[in-house]
Amino acid sequence: MKGDMMKNTKRFLILTGMSGAGKSVALNSLEDMGYFCIDNMPPNLFRQILVLSDYFFNNEDLNSYAIVMDSRANDFEGILGAIEELKQKTPFDVKTLFLEASTEVLTKRFNETRRIHPLSKKGTTIEGIEAERTLLEEVKQYSDYIIDTSYMKANELKKEVIKCFQPGNHDYFRVNFMSFGFKHGTPSDCDYIFDVRFIKNPFYIDELRPLTGLDTEVSEYVLQKQEAKTYIEKTVDLLQFAIPQYKNIGKSQVVIGIGCSGGQHRSVAISQYLYNYFKDTFSTNIFHRDLEKRKGN
């Protein structure tokens, strides 16, 4: 029991993720909350944290620490091993936060800021982003928290980081809703996937085709269908039971995917409905993965 009490007294956060996804914003938020932050620590120095862990833990002036690791580290296999050692051999509450965003959004951000992607020195920005995504996939799967910033403004990300990592908050749980189109690929990180392709498709209504599930006309068209009402009712019943079970076993988040053909109309409207339904009960986030792909459902 004593070890568990000590484990929950101080937090050690590893912040990583895609370049352009908002690590600087997150780091600034952590610093504002009193975290002692180290940006871009070289991999060969990371294991020194194990040596210094007693000093960090016994420092009465500091209660929370954060270290930023990015793709330039290029030794994530060794880093993951060191993180696991940190969890097993020190009394810290060790967590890993991964920030991501869609390729389209990241490309737009790099173009707007005229920055060069760190992995695109000899190629295009998109090539650099995809190379980084492949490089970081194992780290993403390992992470305790994943925040998709594709549709977040800087102040929204700051609020999310504060909710997650306010010192003293060790019981954070988040429900993520994701809409997507099956023709663009099935997401690999969902705990549940609900297929809504059987619902009548607004794409075939001329006046609704150029709109999305975020528009009232499309949302009303989809949600008024009896098959949609019944499906949503049964989905809500399942999630009301299942979501708390994930929290009870210690998971920090659950990802719920809603898929239609192209990710423009039906999945967007229904995931938005579910998000609004559960947002007063749980800390929730919503991400419309394929909304920018305007090639139709």
Residues comprising the binding site for GTP? 70-73
Read off φ and ψ for residue 256, nearest 5 degrees: -120, 115
Which parts are annotated binding residues for ATP? Answer: 17-24
Query: Is 76 within 8 Å of 82 (Cβ atoms)?
Result: no
Read off φ and ψ for residue 171, nearest 5 degrees: -125, 40
Query: Is 55 within 8 Å of 76 (Cβ atoms)?
Result: no
Assign 255 to helix, strand or coil.
strand
The CA distance from 269 to 75, in Å, is: 41
Contacts of 223 (CB under 8 A, 6+ apart): 229, 232, 269, 270, 273
Contacts of 12 (CB under 8 A, 6+ apart): 49, 56, 64, 65, 66, 67, 86, 90, 92, 93, 94, 95
The CA distance from 282 to 255, in Å, is: 13
Which parts are annotated binding residues? Answer: 17-24, 70-73
Give the distance from CA 209 to its chain's centroid.
Answer: 29
Q: How far is CA 85 from CA 53, 92, 165, in A?
A: 11, 11, 22
Instruction: List, in sequence order, every beta strand (DSSP E) within the chain.
Output: 11-17, 36-38, 64-68, 93-100, 145-148, 174-181, 192-195, 253-260, 283-288
